[in-house]
Chain A
Amino acid sequence: MKRPNTIVYGVDDKPPLAITVLTGLQHAAVLSIFLLFPVLVCREAGLSAEKIVDVLSFSMLVIGMGAIVQTLSRGPLGSGFLCPPSFGATYMPASFLAIKTGGLPLMFGMTVFAGLVEMALSRSLRRLRPYFPPEITGFVVVMIGVTLGTLGLRSAVVPDAAGNINLLQLSVAGIALTTMIALNVWTKGALRLFCALIGIAVGYAAAAAMGLLPATDIARLGTAPFFHLPNISHLGWSFDTALVVPFAVAALATILRAIGDITVCQKTNDADWVRPDTRSLSGGAMANGLSTLTAGMLGTMGTNTMTSNVGLAAATGITSRIVAYAIGGIFLLFAFMPKTATIFAIMPRPVVGAALLFASSLVFINGLFIITSRMLDARRTFVIGLSFMLGLSVDLFPGLFAGLPAGVQVFTSSSLVLGTLSALLLNLIFRLGVRRTQALVVDPASHDSQETEDFLSTQGAAWGARRDIIERANYTLRQSIETIIEACDPRGPLEIAASFDEFNLDIRVSYMGPSLELPDKSPTTDEIIDSEAGHRRLAGFLLRKLADRVEALHKSGRTTILLHFDH
C-alpha cells in the first residue's frame, strides 16, 4: 500500500494527541447529525422525550463500538479503516413498518435479524457479485435518497388534520435548509464541513424565536443530569416473519453501501490501488452487521457505514485508525451524558425535515453517480427505469397494492423494498445469454493503435462494460500489441479475441513468435534508459500490474497472452 500525497496521517500512522482528539470531535459532530433517525422512529413509536434520551444513549454506544470494531484488520471482522457507522435512511422504511405492526420490540427484534443477515451475506460477497452489479447498488442508493426526501418533505411541511400547511413550521424548515445549502455552496473549510450541523443549530434558534420549541423541552435540557446510566425499560424483542423481506432488503442495501464506502477508503489510502481488497470489504460488511446486531440488542435501529465521514477523512487527509478510537471514546463518554442526547431528542420537527431534505439530495446524486459509472445498455436501462417507476408507485398510489394478499404485501411495503426486489429480479432475467465474444486481426506491418482502441471502446459500449475497466483494458491491450510488435517480431497477424460476461473481461492475444517477459518487479531507471531489454521489462511489468490477471502461454511456436479484468 503506497500513501497518496494528499494523505497527511495514513491509516497506520499515529497523529499527535491534540490532532487525534480534534479530528475525532469533528467526525463525532458529523455522525451526531444522523442521531435524528433514531429520534424519528422513537417519535413514530410515541416514546416520551425521557425514553428517547435513553435510546439515544444506547445509539451513541453503538456508534462508538462500531467505529472501533471497523478498524480491525485481521480475521473476519473489520475493514481496517476509519469508516465509522451511524444511522441512516436504509433501515427507515422497514423500521417504520415494524413500529406500525408490533411497536419498538418488533423493530429491535427484526434489527437483530437484519444484523445476522448482514453478517451472513458478508461471507459470500464474491459469490454474490453477479447478482448485485454496481448499477443495482447505485439504484438502491437512489431509492434511499427518494425515501429520505419523502420523509423530509413530510416532516418539513407538517399539514394539520384538515390538510392545511403550518406556515410557521414551513418557515423554520426553510431557514434551516437555506442555511445548510448556502454554507455548502458558497463557503469553504469548517463552515462547509459543518453546514448541516450549523443549519440544525440555526433551525433550533428559528424554532425558539417563533415559539415552536416548547418551554418544557428547553427546561428538559436544563434539568438533564450531566452523567447517568441509561435506562433499559424500553427494551424488548419480538419477531414477525412478515417483516423478513423488508429487513432482509434493508440489510442488503446496507451491505451494498458498505462495499461502496470501504472501496473509497481503500482508494483514499493507497495510491497504487487497482482493485477492491475482498477481505477488507467482507470484514467491513461483517463489522457493520455486528453493529446492526448490537443496535437491535441495545434497543435502537440498524446502522450503516457513513459516506460523509469517509469523505471527511479524505478531505482532511487524516485517515488514521487511531482517530476511530477517539470517535469511539467520545461516543462512549457522550452515551452517559444525557444533556448531549437531550439536544437531539427535542429537535423540532421542521428542523428534522430540513436535515432530511439536505441529506436526501446528496444521497440521491451519489446513487446516480454509481449508476452512471456503467455504460448503460438496453438491459440495464430497463432494469433501472422499470424498477424506479415500480418503486415510486408505492408512494404515488398508496392504495394500489392494498387488495393484494397479506403475504404478497410484504414485497410492496415500501418503495425501497419493491424497487430493489424488482431490480434484482429483472437483473436475473436479463443475465440470460450475456457472455459475448468479438475478434480482431492486427497486421503488424500496418498496425494502427487507434484501431485497437476503437475496437474495444465500441465493444465496451455495446456490452455495457464499466468505462474505467474498458479504459484500463484498452491501455493494456495497446501496450501489449506495441510490445509484441517491437520486441517479439511476430510472424503473421496477431489474433485478438475479447469476451465479456458482465463480471469478467477476458482478452486473448495470440501470435507466432517468442513469449513476452512479464516481471513482478519494475526494472531500475538505469536499466530502462540503458537497454532495450530494460525497456521491455518495464512494458511487461506494466501489463502485469494493469491487468487483474495476466498469463503468457507458449506452445509449438505460438504465444498466447491472456489478460483478465474483473468487472
Chain B
Amino acid sequence: MKELEITLERSESNVVLHAAGPVDSNTAPQLQESLLRAAESPAGAVTLDLAKVGYMSSAGLRVLLMAAKVLQKRGERLHIASVPPQIYDVLNLAGFTSFIDITQ
C-alpha cells in the first residue's frame, strides 16, 4: 500500500506543503492534519504542491475544502500548484476551481 508523504517548506509570508503519494480515505487524515495546521497558523499564504500526487479521492477534496474555508476566514485563498490533469478535472467537476487558486 502506497503511503502519503508530506514535507513542509516555510518562509515568512508563505507555507508550502509538498505532498507525495495517493490521497484517499486512508491518507486524507494525514493531509488534513498538516494542511489545517498550516491554514490555522497566522503566516500568510498556504500552497499545496500536488506534483507527486497521482490520485486524490473525494476524501482528499473534502480536506481541501476544509482548508479553503479556514483560510477564507482570514481573507486568504488556498493555492494548489502543479495539479496533474486528472486531479484538475475532478476539482473542476466538483466546482472547487471557483474558490481555490489552481496552477497546473
Asked whether B22 lies within 8 Å of A271 as measured between CB atoms, the reply is no
Chain A proximity of B71: nearest CB distance (Å): 13
Nearest CB in chain B to that of A449: its residue: B24
Question: Is A529 in the interface zone, CB < 8 Å from B?
Answer: yes
Question: Is A202 in the interface zone, CB < 8 Å from B?
Answer: no
Question: Is B74 in the interface zone, CB < 8 Å from A?
Answer: no
- A236 CA to B47 CA, complexed, in Å: 68
Asked whether A539 lies within 8 Å of B57 as measured between CB atoms, the reply is yes
> For B97, what are the chain A residues with a Cβ–Cβ distance below 8 Å?
271
Question: Is A475 in the interface zone, CB < 8 Å from B?
Answer: yes
Q: 10 nearest interchain CB pairs?
A: A539-B58, A448-B1, A545-B93, A538-B58, A479-B57, A482-B57, A486-B25, A482-B25, A450-B2, A535-B62
Given A453-B55, A525-B65, A529-B65: A482 touches B24 (CB 8 Å cut-off): yes
- A153 CA to B104 CA, complexed, in Å: 41
Given A482-B24, A482-B25: A475 touches B90 (CB 8 Å cut-off): yes
Residue of A448, A478, A482, A538 touching B61 (CB-CB under 8 A): A538
Chain B proximity of A463: nearest CB distance (Å): 20
Nearest CB in chain B to that of A5: its residue: B97
12 contacts between A and B (CB under 8 A): A271-B97, A272-B93, A448-B1, A450-B22, A475-B90, A522-B95, A525-B65, A528-B61, A528-B65, A539-B57, A546-B90, A546-B93
Question: Is A483 in the interface zone, CB < 8 Å from B?
Answer: yes
Q: How many residues of B contact A (CB 8 A)?
A: 23
Residue of A271, A471, A479, A485 touching B58 (CB-CB under 8 A): A479
Q: Mark B80-104, 1 if CB is under 8 A from A, else 0.
A: 0000001001101111010100000
Binding site for A on B (CB under 8 A): 1-2, 22, 24-25, 55, 57-59, 61-62, 65-66, 69, 86, 89-90, 92-95, 97, 99
Nearest CB in chain B to that of A479: its residue: B57
Extra inter-chain contacts (19) besides given A475-B90, A486-B25, CB under 8 Å: A271-B97, A449-B1, A449-B22, A450-B2, A453-B55, A471-B86, A478-B55, A482-B58, A482-B59, A485-B25, A525-B65, A525-B69, A525-B99, A528-B65, A529-B62, A535-B62, A538-B58, A542-B58, A542-B90
Asked whether A538 lies within 8 Å of B94 as measured between CB atoms, the reply is yes
Chain B proximity of A274: nearest CB distance (Å): 8
> For A538, what are the chain B residues with a Cβ–Cβ distance below 8 Å?
58, 61-62, 94
- A522 CA to B91 CA, complexed, in Å: 12
Q: Which residues of chain A in 423-440 are interfacial with respect to chain B, using CB atoms and an 8 Å cutoff? A: none
> For A485, what are the chain B residues with a Cβ–Cβ distance below 8 Å?
25
> For A535, what are the chain B residues with a Cβ–Cβ distance below 8 Å?
58-59, 62
> For A471, what are the chain B residues with a Cβ–Cβ distance below 8 Å?
86
Asked whether A542 lies within 8 Å of B69 as measured between CB atoms, the reply is no
> For B24, what are the chain A residues with a Cβ–Cβ distance below 8 Å?
449, 478, 482
Given A449-B55, A450-B1, A450-B22: A542 touches B94 (CB 8 Å cut-off): yes
> For A545, what are the chain B residues with a Cβ–Cβ distance below 8 Å?
93
Q: Mark A523-538, 1 if CB is under 8 A from B, else 0.
A: 0010011000001001
Asked whether B66 lies within 8 Å of A529 as measured between CB atoms, the reply is yes
> For B25, what are the chain A residues with a Cβ–Cβ distance below 8 Å?
482, 485-486
- A483 CA to B62 CA, complexed, in Å: 13
Asked whether B93 lies within 8 Å of A542 as measured between CB atoms, the reply is yes
- A485 CA to B25 CA, complexed, in Å: 10
Chain A proximity of B99: nearest CB distance (Å): 8
- A485 CA to B26 CA, complexed, in Å: 11
Nearest CB in chain B to that of A487: its residue: B25
- A450 CA to B24 CA, complexed, in Å: 11
Nearest CB in chain B to that of A544: its residue: B93
Residue of B66, B86, B94 touching A522 (CB-CB under 8 A): B94
> For B65, what are the chain A residues with a Cβ–Cβ distance below 8 Å?
525, 528-529
Given A450-B22, A535-B62: A475 touches B94 (CB 8 Å cut-off): no
Residue of B55, B62, B92 touching A271 (CB-CB under 8 A): B92
Nearest CB in chain A to that of B66: its residue: A529
Chain B proximity of A414: nearest CB distance (Å): 38
Nearest CB in chain A to that of B55: its residue: A478
Chain B proximity of A334: nearest CB distance (Å): 40
Nearest CB in chain A to that of B102: its residue: A5
Chain B proximity of A538: nearest CB distance (Å): 5
Q: Mark A454-486, 1 if CB is under 8 A from B, else 0.
A: 000000000000000001100100110011011
- A472 CA to B93 CA, complexed, in Å: 13
Nearest CB in chain B to that of A525: its residue: B65
> For A475, what are the chain B residues with a Cβ–Cβ distance below 8 Å?
55, 86, 90
Q: Mark A511-528, 1 if CB is under 8 A from B, else 0.
A: 000000000001001001
Nearest CB in chain A to that of B2: its residue: A450
- A14 CA to B93 CA, complexed, in Å: 27
Q: Mark A209-226, 1 if CB is under 8 A from B, else 0.
A: 000000000000000000
